[in-house]
């Protein structure tokens, strides 16, 4: 994972702010690795009518084990690069070492 030193997440109080790069119309839904300072996410949803955004929220909710209602899209509604705020407290999974480093550095 070459992007492991990039910081895709930071803490804002008890909330987690996460930068993601979305690939809509992918062959499957998946949360990948961190690259260029963003968590890469693939979704089969199209970018029309906010379908990809909703899919990203569902994927992140499952990945972070939080209800989708605690995830808010703050920037990038119509772009591939997005910023999302997850209302805390959030347990950062071991599979997201960049976010864990960001959490430990505060």
Q: Over the stretch 23-55, which tens digit does the pLDDT of each residue have?
A: 999 999 999 988 888 999 999 999 999 999 999
Number of domains in the chain: 1
Please give the residue that has the higher pLDDT: either 57 or 13. 57
Can you tell me the distance from the alpha carbon of 83 to that of 78, in angstroms, rounded to the nearest whole number? Answer: 12
- Supply the CATH number for residue 72's domain: 3.30.1200.10
SS3 104: helix
| pLDDT at res. 12 | 85
Can you tell me the distance from the alpha carbon of 62 to that of 79, in angstroms, rounded to the nearest whole number? Answer: 22
Angle at 82 between CA 104 and CA 96, to 5 degrees: 30
Residue 2 has pLDDT above 90, yes or no: no
- For 36-86, list the strands marked E by DSSP: 38-42, 71-75, 81-86
User: Measured in Å, how far apart are the chain's first and last C-alpha atoms?
Assistant: 23
Range of the domain at 61: 2-104
């Amino acid at each position: 994972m070459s992007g492991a030193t990039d910081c895709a997440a930071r803490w804002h109080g008890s909330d987690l702010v996460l930068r993601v790069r979305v690939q809509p119309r992918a062959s499957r839904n998946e949360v990948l690795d961190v690259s260029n300072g963003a968590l890469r996410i693939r979704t089969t949803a199209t970018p029309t009518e906010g379908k990809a955004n909703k899919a990203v929220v569902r994927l992140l909710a499952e990945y972070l084990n939080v209800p989708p209602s605690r995830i808010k899209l703050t920037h990038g509604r119509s772009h591939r690069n997005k910023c999302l705020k997850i209302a805390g407290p959030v347990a950062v999974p071991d599979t997201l070492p960049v976010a864990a480093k960001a959490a430990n550095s505060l």
